[in-house]
Amino acid sequence: MPGFKLVGREARQKGTVVKVGNTEFGSNKVAIIAGPCAIESEEQLLETALAVKEAGAAVLRGSAYKPRSSPYSFQGLEEEGLKIMAKVKKKTGLLVETEVIDARDVALVSKYVDALRIGARNMQNFSLLREVGKSQKPVILKNGISSTLDEFLCSAEYILAGGNKNVILCNRGIRTTEPELRFPVLSGSTALLKQKTHLPVIVDPSHSTGNSSLIVAASRAAIAEGADGLIIEVHPSPEKALSDKRQQLTPGQFKSLMPELERVAKAVGRGL
């Protein structure tokens, strides 16, 4: 018996549409989330937000809590970052999302954002999954870097079983033997996830390739395979970023990416 039922296609043949504010994930339109890896300052977030909004992104991303491999790396601005996010949301009218890394922070983080993100390192943080399950905030759940698709779906099941149906799965790739790609999204994995679950599935080309020069190709591939959205890192000066320098797009690169994505979306019968 699979360890999930509520998230399975058998439970619901029709795809679920999850709304973040008025933006739909899982409809005919491919929704774009964009913004910096981490919130570094109000100027940095506002500049990015204005650029991604103009280019057509629906939701601004940005992390205030950074679960880093090394304890010596930048850990995020924490609540100060959340306050910056709230200011930028007010100034731009954009919807906003951010990562929550600890069950004890769910209530606090929820006050500031339209959607919560659970990162790869916390896919099996069961107390965190249970806590967001008690909320009605949309949750963007990323797969762990060595998890199987069924394990990923079991983690989503915790949230639905807790009472929160608003889950968006994010395929961010897994560890492979190829050192030049950070965590590749396996070809076919997005299509297979969509067969197995009715939940919307988005793809993260930034953390999967780890390389800004591959974002266009990886994004096109994701949409062609049926992704309901993308989450893309954009920074005003990627070379100065406090995290993930190599993979963040400049605002100009993001602006030229969007029409490319619209072409692919149209080719597969969808819009952007």
Q: What is the CA radius of gyration of the chain?
A: 17
The item of Mn ion, ligand PEP, none sharing an interface with residue 131, based on CB under 5 to 8 Å by kind, is none
Window 117 to 136, contacts with ligand PEP (CB under 6 A)? 119-121
| Minimum CB–partner distance for residue 19 and Mn ion (Å) | 25
Q: What is the DSSP string of 229-245?
A: EEEEEB-SSGGG-SS-G
Contact between 63 and ligand PEP (CB under 6 A)? yes
Find out whether 63 and 37 touch, Cβ atoms under 8 Å: yes
Subset of 246-265 contacting ligand PEP (CB under 6 A): none
Residue 194 binds: one of Mn ion, ligand PEP, none (C-beta under 5 to 8 A by kind): none
Binding stretches for Mn ion (CB under 5 A): 37, 244
Instruction: Please provide residue 242's backbone torsions phi and psi, each rounded to the nearest 5 degrees.
Output: -80, -10
Residue type for position 94:
L
Pairing of strands 201-203, 167-171: parallel
- Smallest distance from ligand PEP to CB 14, Å: 28
Nearest residue to 59 via CA among 44, 68, 49, 70: 49
Contact 59, 114 (CB under 8 A): yes
Which is nearer to ligand PEP, 16 or 143 (by Cβ)?
143
E-state strands within 83-171: 95-99, 115-118, 139-142, 167-171
Query: Closest separation between CB of residue 267 and ligand PEP, Å?
Result: 27
Interaction of residue 142 with ligand PEP, rule CB under 6 A = yes
String of contacts with ligand PEP for each residue 165-184, x by CB under 6 A: -------x------------
Query: Does 62 contact ligand PEP by CB under 6 A?
Result: no
Smallest distance from ligand PEP to CB 207, Å: 4
CA distance 143 to 102: 17
Minimal distance, residue 28 CB to Mn ion, in Å: 29
Of 113-121, 159-167, 209-217, 251-259, which segment contacts ligand PEP by CB under 6 A?
113-121
Tell whether residue 6 is a contact of ligand PEP (CB under 6 A): no
User: Binding partner of residue 120 among Mn ion, ligand PEP, none, CB under 5 to 8 Å per kind?
Assistant: ligand PEP
Grouping H, G, I as helix, E, B as strand and the rest as coil, residue 143 is coil
Are 234 and 29 in contact by the 8 Å Cβ rule? The answer is no
Contact between residue 232 and residue 217 where contact means Cβ atoms under 8 Å apart: no
Residues forming contacts to ligand PEP in the complex (CB under 6 A) are: 37, 63, 99, 119-121, 142, 172, 204, 207
